[in-house]
Chains A and B, each alone.
Chain A
Amino acid sequence: MTASADRARAARDSTGLAFVAEMYGVQLDQLSLLLGVSDRQAAALVARWSQRNLADSAILSPGPRWVWITRPGLQACGLRYSPSPPALPRLAHIRAVTSVRLALTAAPAYQLGQAHWRSERRMRARLGGRLGAREHVPDAEVHWPDGEMHAPGATATGAIGWAGECWAIEAELTPKTVARTTSIMGELLARTGDYGCPAAEVSVPGAPPRYARAIYLCTAAAARTVERARANLGNLGPRVEIRPLPDQAYLQVRTPA
Chain B
Amino acid sequence: MIVRTRTRLLTRAIVAAAAAAAMAAALPVTLIAIAGYAVAWQRGWQPARLYRAALWCLPLVAIWLVTTAMSRDSMLGLAEAPWLAWLGMWHSASNGDDLAAAVQIAPISVPAGLAVAGFAWSLRIHAMAARAAGRSPSSAIAFDQRQWRHQARSALARVTGPLAPPLLTRRGDFIAGAVIRAVGHPARPTCVLPAVRLRSHQLVLGSTGTGKTTLLLRLWAAFMTIGLRRHAESAAGRPLLVVLDAKGGADGRRIADRLHRLLKASGAGNVAVWPDQAHLTLWTLPVKQLVSTLVDLIEHGSGGAAYYTDVMEAAVALAVQAPCGPPANSAEFLARLEPGWLTLAYAGVADMATLLNSAARQLPDIALRFRTLFRRLGPGLDGPGSFADADAWYCILEGTADIAVAEAQARALVDLLACHVTAHGAADDHGAANDHGAAGDLAHRQQVLLAVDEFSAVSRRLPLWQLFERARSLGLAIQVSAQSWHGLAPNEDERYRLAATAEGGIWLLRTPHPEPVVELAGRRPYIDTSRQLSGLLRWTRTGTSRIAEAPIADPQLIRMLDVGQVAYIYRGGVTFLQIKPVITAAAPVPAADPRASEPGPVAEISTTEVSGAPLPDVTTFLTEVFGSFAGQRGS
Contacts and interface: CB of A to CB of B under 8 A. Distances in A.
Interface string B581-619: 000000000000000011111111111011100011111
A116 B157 CA distance: 56
B326 to A, nearest CB: 21
Contact of A239 (B260, B272, B615, B617): B615
A244 B628 contact: yes
Interface in B551-605: 597-605
Interface size on A, as a range, is: 35 or more
B618 A241 contact: yes
A235 B616 contact: no
Contacts of A111: none
A200 interface: yes
A200 B610 CA distance: 20
Given A187-B598, A198-B272, A203-B600, A238 B385 contact: no
A149 interface: no
Interface stretch (A27-35, A75-83, A87-95, A129-137): A129-137
B615 A199 contact: no
A234 B626 contact: no
B395 to A, nearest CB: 12
Contact of B253 (A106, A131, A234): A131
Interface string B458-497: 0000000000000000000000000000000000000000
Nearest to A241: B622
Contacts of A198: 272, 277-279, 385
A205 B626 contact: no
Contact of A235 (B271, B606, B621, B625): B606
Given A198-B272, A199-B273, A244-B632, A190 B627 contact: no
Interface stretch (A10-18, A54-62, A210-218): A210-218
A251 interface: no
Contact of B607 (A107, A186, A236, A246): A236
Nearest to A212: B610
B599 A190 contact: yes
B245 to A, nearest CB: 12
A32 B597 CA distance: 44
A203 B601 contact: yes
Nearest to A239: B607
Contacts of B624: 107, 109
Given A132-B256, A190-B601, A243 B627 contact: yes
A220 interface: yes
B598 A186 contact: yes
Q: What is the size category of the interface that chain B forms with chain A? A: 35 or more
B276 interface: yes
A202 B260 CA distance: 14
Contacts of A85: none
B264 A134 contact: yes
B36 interface: no
A79 B330 CA distance: 36
B610 A132 contact: no
A80 to B, nearest CB: 20
A23 to B, nearest CB: 18
B389 interface: yes
Given A103-B625, A107-B624, A238-B615, 18 more contacts: A131-B260, A132-B256, A132-B271, A164-B611, A186-B602, A191-B599, A199-B270, A199-B271, A200-B279, A203-B599, A204-B389, A208-B609, A212-B611, A234-B603, A239-B607, A239-B610, A244-B627, A244-B632
21 contacts: A131-B253, A132-B256, A132-B260, A134-B257, A135-B599, A161-B616, A186-B602, A190-B600, A199-B273, A199-B390, A200-B385, A200-B389, A203-B270, A203-B601, A208-B609, A209-B610, A215-B622, A220-B629, A244-B627, A244-B629, A256-B632
Interface of A: 100, 103-104, 106-107, 109-110, 130-135, 161-162, 164-165, 179, 183, 186-187, 189-192, 198-205, 208-209, 212-213, 215, 217, 220, 223, 234-236, 238-239, 241-246, 256
